[in-house]
Amino acid sequence: MDAPSSGPETIADFYARVEAALGPDRRLPVAVEEMPGWDIFPFEIDSLRIKPLAPLADSEPDRRGENEDECWCADPFEPKSDDRLVWWNENWKLSTDLFGSGLPIMLWLSPMTHCDLPTMPPEVAAGIGPLMTTISAAIEDLPSVGRVQLAKYGDGGAHLHLLFMGRPSRMLQLRGSPMLDWEENLPRVPADVVQRNCRPIVEALISTFGGQTGPAAG
Ligand SMILES: [Zn+2]
């Protein structure tokens, strides 16, 4: 049965519209009048090509931890041996990667309860707003940060991990979503610098929400 034309669009119709815009080699033209033409776009557009459009997948693949029994949260929580752990309390944990980022700070906030954003229990959802505010303010207080950026992707791991990224201060080329393209190419921030940048954020969290410092900020 066809979907009603008055309802939300199907992915088949969405995909068909994208296909209709393809060139003869199944590539979309670079939208030079959009962000690729802005001064914050990190790549030279003369040599830029978009990859040929892939076919629709049969279905969405399972992510890591899609089944709660196989998620990291099914393992015993051992904060002392988690070298990515920045801060935690009984409901939340904040993590980083000591050698993984080119930004002054990149943090992941996760609830201890197994859920994703669309499946967050109301009592968990009620706690996330004040945390987002405190973490964002502490990141923007760092001397090397101009602005905090937030993201929720969730294409790899099923357990909610809300991403906080510090955009380097006065590096205006890194504004907006192209910052992530820069991030991959910037030199890695040394682990001791990541630790020093994490500490004021942990202090702000402990003073408002209690909890403890993790090894990554120790
Ligand atoms: Zn989980």
Distance 118 CA to ligand 1 centre (A): 14
100 pLDDT higher than 90: no
Same domain, 209 and 157: yes
Distance 92 CA to ligand 1 centre (A): 12
At residue 218 the predicted structure's pLDDT band, cuts being 50, 70 and 90, is confident
Burial profile 35-68: b = 16 or more Cβ within 10 angstroms, e = fewer: ebeeeebeeeeeeeeeeeeeeeeeeeeeeebeee
Distance 81 CA to ligand 1 centre (A): 18
Kindly write down the DSSP assignment for every residue of 12-63, as one continuous string. HHHHHHHHHT--TTS-PPP-TTSGGGSTT--S-STT--PPPPPPPPSSPPPP
Distance 109 CA to ligand 1 centre (A): 13
DSSP class of residue 175? -
Same domain, 32 and 101: no
1 pLDDT higher than 60: no
Same domain, 126 and 48: no
Same domain, 119 and 52: no
Does residue 101 lie in a domain region? yes
Query: What is the reported pLDDT for 52?
Result: 97
Residue tagged 């959802």 (tokens) = 125
Same domain, 95 and 127: yes
Same domain, 132 and 172: yes
Does residue 210 lie in a domain region? yes
Same domain, 97 and 49: no
Same domain, 42 and 90: no
Order the strands of the 92-95 sheet from edge to edge. Answer: 145-151, 162-168, 106-111, 92-95, 85-88, 212-213
Q: Output the six-digit token pair for 169.
A: 């201060």
Does residue 62 lie in a domain region? no
Among 91, 144, 147, 141, smallest CA distance to 115 is for: 91
pLDDT digits (tens, 9 = 90+) for 108-134: 999 999 999 999 999 999 999 999 999
Distance 123 CA to ligand 1 centre (A): 16
Distance 184 CA to ligand 1 centre (A): 27
Does residue 168 lie in a domain region? yes
Give the domain extent around 197.
72-217
Query: What is the reported pLDDT for 2?
Result: 54
Same domain, 207 and 149: yes
User: What is the pLDDT averaged over residues 59-87?
Assistant: 96
4 pLDDT higher than 90: no
Query: What is the reported pLDDT for 29?
Result: 93
3 pLDDT higher than 60: no
Does residue 161 lie in a domain region? yes
- CATH number of the CATH domain containing 191: 3.30.428.10
Distance 190 CA to ligand 1 centre (A): 29
Among 199, 140, 130, smallest CA distance to 165 is for: 140
Distance 39 CA to ligand 1 centre (A): 40
Same domain, 77 and 159: yes
Measured CA to CA, the distance from residue 127 to residue 120 in angstroms comes to 11
Q: Which amino acid is at 65?
A: G
Does residue 77 lie in a domain region? yes
Same domain, 22 and 129: no
Does residue 66 lie in a domain region? no
Distance 45 CA to ligand 1 centre (A): 41
Distance 111 CA to ligand 1 centre (A): 8
17, 34, 57 — which closes off a domain? 57
Q: How many domains does the chain have?
A: 2
Measured CA to CA, the distance from residue 210 to residue 201 in angstroms comes to 12
Same domain, 80 and 26: no
42 pLDDT higher than 60: yes
Distance 29 CA to ligand 1 centre (A): 40
Q: Are 149 and 165 a contacting pair, CB within 8 Å?
A: yes
Distance 70 CA to ligand 1 centre (A): 8
Does residue 2 lie in a domain region? no
Distance 74 CA to ligand 1 centre (A): 7
Distance 64 CA to ligand 1 centre (A): 9
Cβ neighbours for 194, distance < 8 A, ≥ 6 positions apart: 96, 98, 101, 105, 216
Residue 26 region, left (φ>0) first, then alpha (ψ -120 to 50), else beta? left
Radius of gyration of the chain (CA): 21
pLDDT digits (tens, 9 = 90+) for 147-205: 999 999 999 999 999 999 999 999 999 999 999 999 999 999 999 999 999 999 999 99
Distance 151 CA to ligand 1 centre (A): 19
